[in-house]
C-alpha cells in the first residue's frame, strides 16, 4: 500500500504552474512534484502558466481553482 503524502495542502497557492493537458470537463491539468492537479477556471488553455489555489487534496490527485487576473 502506497501511503505517499501529497506535496501540497488545502488552501495552498502555487504560482508558475504550466497546464500540461485538458480534462474531460474542460479543466486544466497541472503536475506538481509528480502529483496531478485538476484546475477549474475560465479560459484555461494548454500551455498556460497559471497561479492556482488548492481547494481539495486527495491521496492521488487534487482539485484547484485558477486565480483570475494573475499574470505570469
Q: Name the residue ranges covered by the structural domains of the chain.
A: 13-66
Q: What is the pLDDT of residue 69?
A: 66
> DSSP state, 14?
E
Q: What is the pLDDT of residue 72?
A: 46
Q: Say how far apart CA 53 and CA 31 lie, in whole Å.
A: 14
Q: Say how far apart CA 47 and CA 38 lie, in whole Å.
A: 14
The pLDDT tens digits of the residues spanning 8-60 come to: 999 999 999 999 999 888 899 999 999 999 999 878 999 999 999 999 999 99
Q: What is the pLDDT of residue 67?
A: 93
C-alpha torsion 1→53→14→11, nearest 10: -60
| Distance of alpha carbon 28 from the chain centroid | 7
The second-level CATH assignment, the architecture, of 13-66 is Beta Barrel (2.40)
What is the reported pTM?
0.88
Amino acid at each position: 500500500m502506497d501511503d505517499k503524502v501529497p506535496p501540497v495542502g488545502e488552501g495552498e497557492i502555487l504560482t508558475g504552474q504550466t497546464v500540461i493537458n485538458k480534462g474531460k470537463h474542460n479543466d486544466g491539468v497541472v503536475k506538481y512534484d509528480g502529483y496531478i492537479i485538476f484546475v477549474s477556471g475560465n479560459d484555461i488553455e494548454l500551455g498556460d502558466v497559471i497561479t492556482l489555489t488548492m481547494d481539495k487534496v486527495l491521496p492521488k490527485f487534487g482539485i484547484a481553482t485558477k486565480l483570475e487576473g494573475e499574470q505570469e
